[in-house]
Every structure is written in structure tokens, then in C-alpha cells.
Amino acid sequence: MESPDLLRSCAVQETRLDTARIRAARRMIDPVFLDTPLYRCEALEPGLGCAVSIKLETANPVRSFKARGTEVVASRLVGNGPRAVVCASAGNLGQALAWSGRRRGLDVTVVASRFAPAAKLDRIRALDARLELVDGDFDMARERAAAIARHDGIRLVEDSLDIETCEGAATIGLELVDAAPPFDAVLIALGGGALATGIGHVLKESAPGAEVICVQPLGAPAMTHSWHRRRVVTTDSTDTIADGVAGRRPIPAVLDDLLLVADDAVLVKEASIIAGMRMLLDHAGLVVEPSAALGVAAVLEDRDRFAGRHVVTIVCGGNVDADAYHRWVGLTGR
Amino acid sequence: MESPDLLRSCAVQETRLDTARIRAARRMIDPVFLDTPLYRCEALEPGLGCAVSIKLETANPVRSFKARGTEVVASRLVGNGPRAVVCASAGNLGQALAWSGRRRGLDVTVVASRFAPAAKLDRIRALDARLELVDGDFDMARERAAAIARHDGIRLVEDSLDIETCEGAATIGLELVDAAPPFDAVLIALGGGALATGIGHVLKESAPGAEVICVQPLGAPAMTHSWHRRRVVTTDSTDTIADGVAGRRPIPAVLDDLLLVADDAVLVKEASIIAGMRMLLDHAGLVVEPSAALGVAAVLEDRDRFAGRHVVTIVCGGNVDADAYHRWVGLTGR
């Protein structure tokens, strides 16, 4: 019989996620968001020095992976509690929750920074959600959303903390481990952590040979610093074009999960993110938002690490303001 | 007992395609090319005045639908005849045949116009095919490919004439008829005709309520003129940026099939093709080649026809020269 101490020690090694629950979550997600393209992109490879596969999460009605999670949230809400929800969002979660809520008759409120990309805010409005803007950043939107939830007594959806958002993202992991041939590393944009902990959980369980590498901008390093120091580290501000991952206050429970499933967390420069966006445009024909170029940026900054290996990069979102995009990738004035 | 005349009359009403064979063809195709994204793109809808779904054929290793056909060609060749093949190509078929041939150890030769987009020619070379350029257009490349096949005694792959190329394209039709909700019309780029006859055959058999509309540039109207006059009409030249559909000499057998499955064939202006490319970039985040914007162009030119209906447009390819693309969509100088 195992000792209580040993049992406790094993329990500590488990994330909040559970693969059976992730498989159940998958069945709640509209198929339009599942089984997304996963393909080698050889045109990128001379520039990156390694084999590169793309997992494309932008070819769907909300142009990001976030609806995998909001489909689970909304499915579980229907017939099971309040029909009103509020979330804070950098833009993509709000759009996804608005999409998932609209088709189920939920009353969706999204709180976002007024500095979020207009393209994201416009889509949230177009999907019939109530949009409230705060005169601050994403973490201020989080505070405001929580206040609304308390005041109105409605469901607060907290990205990365709410297990549904992690389970939804984790369904990407299920699709990766089914892929052949196997790959050596997966590069995951790191923001709140749902994407990294979700995919990481599945990979560590089912494809432990694959290295799980989180990538964050140098200008928004809170979660990466937290992972390296094994405790929550906050920052006072962020300074990055990668609006989708620009958080200052990591969530402790998410960091705990990330410590169990990530093999590394690296920071990349803005110039590398832009170079990654340009490479994805010119060599893969993909318009991506900055957060979705973090994986390519990580390879560009450390070619030796990846030389000769096969990496998968999750192209997690494609919602950009056209003007900003054109400015970043240097199309004007060419 | 039916009279011989009636039997003959029924036989005349059948295309060269057969749905059981199309289903068998599907099993020969690498899954990376199958079950491509099909999704509503609401951001396009205010500008087009109708519900729009995209069938996206660019998120794969060759960035076009053509590998569906070359996978069938190459699969049937292996262990069954010569291991050398030659094709003429505007660029996408050659790239796809090179991809399908390389992984099966086939010896692939592609004949193309030296005026074809450099991006397409570069990818053909990168995939280890032998590339021969002719100092003329696609139809001159067809003649040269046929001459090579005769001289070397190797298999000539003729796009749209060879039934495998139509069966491969037809697998898109299988995926469309499985989709819910049903749609009212499908907009298909018309070049040699494999895509239109393939998808059209499946739709007419399994979703006869959907209108099959072929779209060709005014600058390369041979097949459209042929369809309207019910006989082959050739042209002396072409003048369009839509290099993927710029043929002058329709193939009689393909026209016969097209007459049975297409509800209409329309011609669009170059300016509409460019406007379509820009809309797909700005509102769908998709970099597409001109041929892939023909469907959007057709809606732009005849909004009343599509108002309030649900159309699917096949985004059939994304191989463009970056410089030309940027010039077309007007990114420089914004």
C-alpha cells in the first residue's frame, strides 16, 4: 500500500486538467473549430533551418483558437445556470465568447481595453455582444469584468483560470498527438497560459518526447519570469505589439500547471515577432496577429537550438488591424 | 424494357465522373489535403450583401487544391506502369504533382510557361521536379509536355482531361454536401474545368438545390464562351492576372461534362478580381492568388443575384509572387 506522503506527492504532480474531460470537452465544440490544418511548410524552412509544421487556428469564424474554449464554456452554461456571462478579453476571447453565446441565446458582455485592435472590437460588436471599454490594459479589464459579474450576479469567464478555457485549448493537443510523423518540439504563444497548459498537459501525457516551449514577448514577460522563478512575478506595464498575450498578472493556479507541463519559456524581441509575421506572410501566405508569430520568432532568435529538428508552431490567431499590420510587415513603401 | 434510344439518351446525360470512384479516390489522398476548412466569414458579408462561406484549399503543403488530384494520379501510377510522369502546368498542378511524386519515388517533369509566377516555379524546383520552361503560354506548355511524353514514352498527366484530376477535385464536392447548413450556390474558378466538373458532378447528384456557378476572367473566356455556345471556342490569347485559369483551348470531353453540371458560367473584370483579393485580405485575413478571388469577384459584379442567399466560394490557391500581390492589392503607397 502506498503511503499518504507518496500519494500526496503524485497529486502535486498533476495539473488541473484531465484527458477524459478534455475528450468530453471536444464533443461540445462546434466542428468548425476542430481538426484544423496541420501541415509542413517547406517554404519557411530555408529561413528557419529546421523542419516546420503549422497548426493553423485562424481559418474559422472567429479567426483564433479561443472558440474551442468558449464553446465548452457556453455548452456547459446552457441549461445549467445563468444565461448571462461576462469576460475580460484582449479581443479574441471576447469575439469567441460572443460567437458561442449568440448561437445559444446567451447574453454576453465583453470588457476590453480601449487600446485593443479595432478589428477585434468591431467583430465583438458585430457578434451582438455588449462591449465595455476600459481606459487601461487587459488586467484592468479583468478587474472591471469581475466587478460586473459581482454586481450583476452573472457568470464571470476567466481566461486560463476557468478550466473550460484550458480544456478547449487542450483539444489542439489531442490533434497534435494524433499526427504523424511525430515532432520534436511545439512552440506555443504564452499569455494567460490556457493554450500552453492545455496543449502541454496532453503532450506530456501522450507524447512526452515532444518539447513544450512557451514563447512570450520581452515586452510582456510576467508569466515567463514567473515560470523561471517558480513563483508569480507581476510587472507594472507591458510594451509589445503582441496584444493577445500582454498580461501583467499571472494567475497562480495556471502557473502551477505550467510548471508541470512546460519544458521551457523564452522571451523574444519585437523585431523578431515582426520578422516572423513577415515570413509567415511571404513564405506561408498567412496573415497572422503578432501573438501567432511568437513561435517563428523563437526559432529566429535561437536557430542552433532547433537546427535539424521538426517543430510545430501554433498559429493561434489572425485578427489584426489592417493598417497596423501593413506597417509592421513593411508593405508600405516597398 | 427500356428502348435503346432511351438508354442512349440517359447515358448522354452522364458525366465521365462516378461518385463511387470519387469516394475511392478520396482514400488515395494524403489526409493533409482533405477535410479542409469550410466556414462562414461574416466579416466579408456587409461588403458582399449575402451570406458567405469559404472553402479553404490553401492551408496545405502546396497551397492549392491540386494535390487532391495528383495524389490520385500518383497513387494509381505506383506499382502500375511507368514511374516517370510529365505534366504541363500553370504552376499549381506542377507543384502538386512534384509533391505527390517525390514521396512515392516518381520521376516528375513539369512544363510551364516562363511567364508563370516565380513563386510557383521556385516551389516546383524545390520539390525536386525537373522543370522545363517554354517561351509561351500554358497551352504551349501543354503541347511541349505531350511531345515529351511521346518521345520519352512516359505518362502524360493532362489536367481536367485525366479523370483522376477531376476525381481529386470532386472530393471537395463530397465535403461540401456533408456540410450543414446547406447553401444556395457555389462559386468555382473555371480554368481547364476539373474543379468545376468535379465539384459540379457531386453537387448535381447529392445537393441538386445548390446552384453551380463557374467564374472566369473576361481576359481568358474560352471555356465560358464554349459553355454558352455548347461547342468548343478557342481564343488566340489571354490577358488576365489570374494565371491559374488562363487557358485558350478547352478540352471537348471536359466541356461536355461541364455542360451537364454547371448552372451558369460568368466572366468578371480584372478590377473585380483585384477587389476580391483585397477583400479576402482585409476581411478574411487570406492571401489568395487571383484565381481564388474569382468567386468574390462574381458576387461584386452581380450583388442583386446573390442578395440574401448563402454562397460558398472555393478559395482554390494561394501561390502568388509577393511583389505582384502587393502591387495588386495596393499595399504599397498606402
Cα distances (Å, whole numbers) of residue A26 to A35, A194, A203, A313: 10, 15, 16, 21
> Distance between CA B177 and CA B22 in Å, rounded?
13
CA-based nearest residue in chain B for residue A32: B39
- Whether residues B61 and A38 touch (CB distance < 8 A) is answered with no
pLDDT value of position A181:
75
Which residues in chain A are contacts of B91 at CB distance < 8 A? Answer: none
B72-81 pLDDT, tens per residue?
999 999 877 6
Least confident of A110-119, A196-205, B174-183, B209-218: B174-183
Buried b / exposed e along B124-137 (16+ C-beta atoms within 10 A): beebebebbebeeb
The owner of cell 500554358 is B138
B33-66 pLDDT, tens per residue?
999 999 999 999 999 999 999 999 999 999 999 9
B35 interface with A at CB cutoff 8 Å? yes
Residue B205 pLDDT exceeds 70: yes
Residue B27 pLDDT exceeds 50: yes
Work out the minimum CA distance from A31 to partner chain B, whole angstroms. Answer: 10
pLDDT value of position A331:
62
> Distance between CA A195 and CA A168 in Å, rounded?
9
CB A151 within 8 Å of CB A183? no
- Whether residues A39 and B60 touch (CB distance < 8 A) is answered with yes
- Whether residues B331 and A333 touch (CB distance < 8 A) is answered with no
> Distance between CA B276 and CA B270 in Å, rounded?
10
> Distance between CA B1 and CA B333 in Å, rounded?
72
E strands within chain B? 38-40, 51-56, 84-89, 107-113, 130-134, 155-157, 185-189, 211-217, 264-268, 310-315
Average pLDDT of chain B, as a whole number: 94
Residue A7 pLDDT exceeds 50: no
- Whether residues B331 and A326 touch (CB distance < 8 A) is answered with yes
CB A232 within 8 Å of CB A252? yes
- Whether residues A318 and B60 touch (CB distance < 8 A) is answered with no
Which residues in chain B are contacts of A34 at CB distance < 8 A? Answer: none
> Distance between CA B177 and CA A170 in Å, rounded?
30
B314 interface with A at CB cutoff 8 Å? no
CA-based nearest residue in chain B for residue A52: B61
Cite the DSSP H helix spans in chain A: 4-12, 19-26, 45-48, 67-77, 92-102, 118-126, 138-152, 163-177, 194-206, 222-229, 252-261, 270-284, 294-301, 303-306, 322-328
pLDDT value of position B4:
46
Q: What number of C-beta contacts closer than 8 Å exist between A and B? A: 79
- Whether residues B282 and A61 touch (CB distance < 8 A) is answered with no
A281 interface with B at CB cutoff 8 Å? yes
pLDDT value of position A5:
47
CB B171 within 8 Å of CB B34? yes
**Strands B38-40 and B51-56, sheet pairing:** antiparallel
Q: Which is higher by pLDDT, B145 or A80? A: B145
Which residues in chain B are contacts of A325 at CB distance < 8 A? Answer: none
- Whether residues B126 and A42 touch (CB distance < 8 A) is answered with yes
CB A83 within 8 Å of CB A107? yes
Least confident of A43-57, A68-82, A217-231, B235-249: A68-82
**Strands A38-40 and A51-56, sheet pairing:** antiparallel
The answer to whether the bond into A181 is cis (omega within 30° of 0) is yes
A310 interface with B at CB cutoff 8 Å? no
CB A61 within 8 Å of CB A99? yes
At residue B156, the 3 state secondary structure works out as strand
Residues sharing a CB contact under 8 Å with residue B183, sequence separation 6 or more, in sequence order: B51, B53, B176, B210, B310, B311, B312
CA-based nearest residue in chain B for residue A315: B59
Which residues 178-207 of B are in CB contact (within 8 Å) with A?
A: none
Work out the minimum CA distance from A279 to partner chain B, whole angstroms. Answer: 11
- Whether residues B319 and A285 touch (CB distance < 8 A) is answered with yes
Which residues in chain B are contacts of A286 at CB distance < 8 A? Answer: 287
A42 interface with B at CB cutoff 8 Å? yes
Q: Which one, of B291, B250, B318, lies nearest residue B95 by Cα?
A: B318
At residue B24, the 3 state secondary structure works out as helix
Q: What is the CATH number of domain A19-64+163-328?
A: 3.40.50.1100
> Distance between CA B138 and CA B247 in Å, rounded?
6
Q: What is the mean pLDDT of residues B309-325?
A: 96
Work out the minimum CA distance from A178 to partner chain B, whole angstroms. Answer: 12
How wide is the angle at C-alpha A13 spanned by C-alphas A12 and A19, nearest 5°? 115
For an interface test with A, give the residue of B102, B286, B312, B315 to mutate (most A CBs within 10 A).
Answer: B286
pLDDT value of position A6:
46
B37 interface with A at CB cutoff 8 Å? yes
> Distance between CA A171 and CA A327 in Å, rounded?
34
Cα distances (Å, whole numbers) of residue A326 to A123, A189, A196, A322, B330: 19, 22, 29, 6, 11
Residues sharing a CB contact under 8 Å with residue A106, sequence separation 6 or more, in sequence order: A74, A77, A78, A83, A84, A85, A100
- Whether residues A61 and B38 touch (CB distance < 8 A) is answered with no
How long a stretch of residues is chain B?
334
> Distance between CA B36 and CA A56 in Å, rounded?
11
Residue A15 pLDDT exceeds 60: yes
Q: Where in chain A is the domain with CATH 3.40.50.1100?
A: 19-64+163-328, 67-157
Average pLDDT of chain A, as a whole number: 94
pLDDT value of position B182:
85
Q: What is the CATH number of domain A67-157?
A: 3.40.50.1100
B265-289 pLDDT, tens per residue?
999 999 999 999 999 999 999 999 9
pLDDT value of position B53:
98
B318 interface with A at CB cutoff 8 Å? yes
CB A62 within 8 Å of CB A99? yes
B222-269 pLDDT, tens per residue?
999 999 999 999 999 999 999 999 999 999 999 999 999 999 999 999
The rounded Cα B41 to chain-centroid distance in angstroms is 21
A83-136 pLDDT, tens per residue?
999 999 999 999 999 999 999 999 999 999 999 999 999 999 999 999 999 999
Which residues in chain B are contacts of A330 at CB distance < 8 A? Answer: none
pLDDT value of position B331:
62
Q: What is the mean pLDDT of residues A43-62?
A: 98
B112-134 pLDDT, tens per residue?
999 999 999 999 999 999 999 99
pLDDT value of position A235:
97
